[in-house]
Amino acid sequence: MNMERKHQLNPAITAMRCLKCGKTYPVGDYFYGCPDCLEKGENAALTFCYEGTGRIDKGRRGFSRYVQFLPYADTVTLGEGGTPLIALEALAQELGVARLYSKNEFQNPTGSHKDRMNPFITARAAALGYETVTCASSGNEAASLAAYAAAEGLKCVNVSTARIPKLWKDASDASGAELVLVLASNDRLAYQREHMGKRWYPATNLLEVPVSSSPYGVQGYKTLAFEVYEEMGEALPDYILIPTCRGDLLYGVFEGFLDLKRAGYIDRLPKLAACEPLPRLELILEQGRSHREKFPGSSDLTSSIGGATATFQSEYALRGSSGFAVSVSQEEAAASVAQMARHGLYLETSSSIVYPCLQKAVRNGKIPPEASVLLVLTSSGYKNG
């Protein structure tokens, strides 16, 4: 561990709170989410209770501008955040909305939005004296966690399947991480649970019915909302489309806008839309299905947001922002890579899915033609190989 950083927890954090039952707990590490909900079989994530009203420190740069809203102020940094927000006039006309923007998360240090999460996970692990961090990942998180662990001076164990693309494997290996390959996705979780006695700090969810990644890391996603506000001000988008699997990014962005509203910076929340490669949250919201179910369908071409499960935190963010979920087929997701690239944005399939999802939402009347829309572009197309 790098002893130069003390990693003092934000003193404004007074407790942790369950999103589902509302019960509060002492600040700590609840690797399986809310203990009370878990006992009832109702898996739910925890978030933090902050005392007082946070303010943006406009005299600072990067994440340090937002330290009053975040768990740690002295994290390692590789230059994450501050990603470009650009207007897409031609694409707006093509897709039938008044104004369209993108937030280019693929321009983070390791090429994805995951770089907003891992500085806070490695800070938490180091603060507690852990020497190793671990994750179950299809690729983006493995590359990002390996990089931030190396910067923090921690060991890293990434657990994936043999289907992990070579470029992600190479990135993990180059950072000095140990890569463990197992047969199936759920085997990743079992492997990590079996090795918890080795004092590995888990960055990601450990349950087959998922809860969330480390809540310390999820807090880092609030910075995306803060940056959107700082750039757009009162002209915040009406809708924000986010590629979604277990909803860490979706929920973090939601809580970021909640923080801004509580602090008096904004008076309304953008409506969030979860973009899915198969109907999961869509069925939960529209048909009353349970987030504990498994949802059939193929997501092989969109592994970064694939899988048969959803989370309560995703449902919470969508309902809380008066948003919705929209799903498209694998064929539409694959075709969207070229459709976005023709506008200069070459994206991972799991990221370019926002194109057909916006198209479908406009067609179905969920997004009106006079709306302004922001697309969160999570990862680049150079990861499609």
The pLDDT score that the predictor gives to residue 163 is: 80
CA angle 2, 72, 19 (to 5 degrees): 130
**Percentage with pLDDT > 70 across the chain:** 98
**Percentage with pLDDT > 90 across the chain:** 86
Structure tokens given for 57: 């420190």
Q: Which of 87-96, 173-182, 225-234, 275-284 has the lowest mean pLDDT?
A: 173-182
The pLDDT score that the predictor gives to residue 3 is: 44
Split at pLDDT 50, 70, 90, the class of 342 is very high
pLDDT tens per residue, range 34-44: 999 999 999 99
- Three-state SS annotation for 109-135: CCCEHHHHCHHHHHHHHHHCCCCEEEE
Higher pLDDT residue, 340 or 160?
340
Mean per-residue pLDDT for 204-219? 96
The pLDDT score that the predictor gives to residue 4 is: 52
Mean per-residue pLDDT for 161-168? 82
The reported pTM is 0.96
The pLDDT score that the predictor gives to residue 196 is: 82
What mean pLDDT value characterizes the chain?
95
The pLDDT score that the predictor gives to residue 11 is: 97
Task: Give the residue among 227, 244, 267, 271 at the shortest CA–CA distance from 372.
Answer: 271
Q: Which of 52-61, 154-163, 309-318, 369-378 has the lowest mean pLDDT?
A: 154-163
Residue 189 pLDDT greater than 70, yes or no: yes
Helix (H), strand (E) at residue 215: helix 215-218
Please report how many Cα atoms fall inside a 13 Å half-sphere around the Cα of residue 152, on the Cβ side. Answer: 31
Mean per-residue pLDDT for 10-14? 98
Mean per-residue pLDDT for 91-120? 98
User: Would you call 348 exposed, middle or buried from its count of C-beta atoms within 10 A (0-12, 13-18, 19+)?
Assistant: buried
Q: What does the alpha-carbon distance between residue 78 and residue 147 come to, in Å, rounded to a whole number? A: 9
Split at pLDDT 50, 70, 90, the class of 201 is very high
Split at pLDDT 50, 70, 90, the class of 5 is low
Q: Which of 127-136, 184-193, 237-246, 287-296 has the lowest mean pLDDT?
A: 184-193
Residue 1 pLDDT greater than 70, yes or no: no
The pLDDT score that the predictor gives to residue 385 is: 57
